[in-house]
Amino acid sequence: MKVFLGYAAGVGKTYRMLEEAQQLKRQGKDIVVGYFEPHGRKDTIAKATGLELIPRRIVAYRVGTFQEMDTTAILSRRPATCVVDELAHTNVPGSERSKRWEDVQVLLDAGIDVMTSMNIQHLESLNDQVFQITGIRVRETVPDWFVKSAAEVVMVDATTGALLNRLKRGNIYAPEKAQRAMENFFKESTLTALRELALRQTAHELELREIASASEERQPQQEPSSASPSSPKATIDRILIYVCADASTAMLIRRGRRMADYLSADCFAVSVIPLRDHSSLPKQDRDAVAKHLNFARNLHVETRILEGDDPAETIVDFARRNHITQILLSRRNHSSWSRLFGTDLILRILQKAKDIRVIIVAERRRSN
Are 268 and 238 within 8 A, CB to CB? yes
Q: Are residues 148 and 194 in the same domain?
A: yes
Distances (CA, A) of 215 to 102, 152, 208, 210, 218: 30, 18, 11, 8, 5
Please tell me the predicted confidence (pLDDT) of residue 33.
Answer: 97
Nearest by Cα to 256 from 113, 143, 359, 120: 359
Confidence at 359, pLDDT banded by 50, 70, 90: very high
Residue where a domain stops, chosen among 170, 191, 210 = 210
Note whether 31 and 157 are same-domain residues: yes
Q: Is 44 domain-assigned? A: yes
Mean pLDDT of 14-28: 96
Instruction: Look at residue 252 and tell me if it is in a domain.
Output: yes
Residue environment code for 164-177, b if the CB has 16+ CB neighbours within 10 A, otherwise e? bebbeeeebbeeee
Instruction: Record the pTM.
Output: 0.76
**For the segment 103-132, what is each residue's pLDDT rounded down to a tens digit?**
999 999 999 999 999 999 999 999 999 998
User: Between 28 and 362, where is the model more confident?
Assistant: 28
240-254 b/e with 16+ CB inside 10 Å = b? bbbbbbbebbbbbbb
Q: Average pLDDT of the chain?
A: 87
329 part of a folded domain: yes
Residues 191 and 266 in one domain: no
For the cut 60, the answer to whether the pLDDT of residue 136 exceeds it is: yes
Residue that wins the pLDDT comparison between 40 and 190: 190
Strand 266-273's sheet: what is its strand order?
A: 302-307, 266-273, 238-242, 326-330, 357-361
In angstroms, the CA 246 to CA 281 distance is 13
221 is a domain residue? no
Does any domain span residue 41? yes
Residue of 106 and 273 predicted with greater confidence: 106
Q: Are residues 96 and 185 in the same domain?
A: yes
Pair 91, 135 in one domain: yes
Q: Is 127 found in the same domain as 25?
A: yes
Domain co-membership, 173 together with 244: no
Residues 4-25 have a mean pLDDT of 95
Whole-number Å distance between alpha carbons of 273 and 282: 12
Choose the final residue of a domain: 193, 210, 227: 210
| Alpha-carbon gap, residue 266 to 303, rounded angstroms | 11
- Cβ neighbours of residue 228 under 8 Å, at least 6 residues apart? none
Query: In degrees to the nearest 10, what's the CA dihedral of 71, 72, 75, 81?
Result: -20
Q: What is the pLDDT of residue 337?
A: 47
Tell whether 38 and 160 lie within a shared domain: yes
Q: Are 363 and 327 in contact (CB under 8 A)?
A: no
CATH code of 99's domain: 3.40.50.300
pLDDT of residue 230: 45
Q: Which residue has the higher pLDDT, 273 or 74?
A: 74
Give 293-349 pLDDT, tens digit per residue.
999 999 999 999 999 988 999 999 999 999 999 999 988 644 544 444 444 888 999
**CATH number of the domain enclosing 355:** 3.40.50.620
Measured between its terminal Cα atoms, the distance across the chain in Å is 39
Calpha distance 267→92 (Å, rounded): 33
Q: What percent of the chain has pLDDT over 70?
A: 86
Backbone angles phi, psi at 82, to 5 degrees: -130, 135
Q: How far is Cα 267 from Cα 100, in angstroms, rounded to an integer?
A: 26
CA angle 361, 318, 125 (to 5 degrees): 35
CA distance 330 to 307: 20
Question: Total structural domains in the chain?
Answer: 2
pLDDT at position 365 is 60
DSSP 84: E
Contacts of 100 (CB under 8 A, 6+ apart): 35, 69, 84, 86, 87, 88, 89, 90, 91
* pLDDT value at residue 203: 83
pLDDT surpassing 60 at residue 366: no
Mean pLDDT of the 128-151 span: 92
Quick one: DSSP state of residue 126? G
Q: In 3-state terms, what secondary structure has residue 125? A: helix
pLDDT given for residue 52 in this prediction: 97
Do 140 and 255 lie in one domain? The reply is no
In a domain, 130, yes or no: yes
Question: In terms of domains, do 169 and 269 share one?
Answer: no
Higher pLDDT, 100 or 212: 100
> 56 with 100, same domain?
yes
Q: What is the pLDDT of residue 309?
A: 85
Bridge partners of residue 241, in order along the sequence: 269, 328
Task: State the DSSP code for 173.
Answer: S
Range in 24-28, 165-169, 173-177, 288-292 with the lowest mean pLDDT: 173-177
Q: Which helix (H) or strand (E) holds 6?
A: strand 2-6
Percent residues over pLDDT 90 in the chain: 61
* R_g of the chain computed on alpha carbons: 23
Q: What pLDDT, on a 0 to 100 scale, did the predictor assign at position 317?
A: 95
Residue scoring higher pLDDT (182 or 276): 182
Provide the domain limits for residue 258. 238-361
Region 261-290: what's the mean pLDDT?
86
Task: Let me know whether 197 and 316 are in one domain.
Answer: no
Q: Which of 6-15, 164-173, 232-241, 281-290 has the lowest mean pLDDT?
A: 232-241
223 lies in some domain:
no
Confidence at residue 211, expressed as pLDDT on a 0 to 100 scale:
67
pLDDT at 20: 97
Q: Which pLDDT belongs to residue 204?
A: 78
**Span 338-367, average pLDDT:** 76
Contact 179, 24 (CB under 8 A): no
- Establish if 368 belongs to a structural domain: no
pLDDT of residue 183: 79
State residue 225's pLDDT score.
Answer: 45
Helix (H, G, I), strand (E, B) or coil at 73: helix
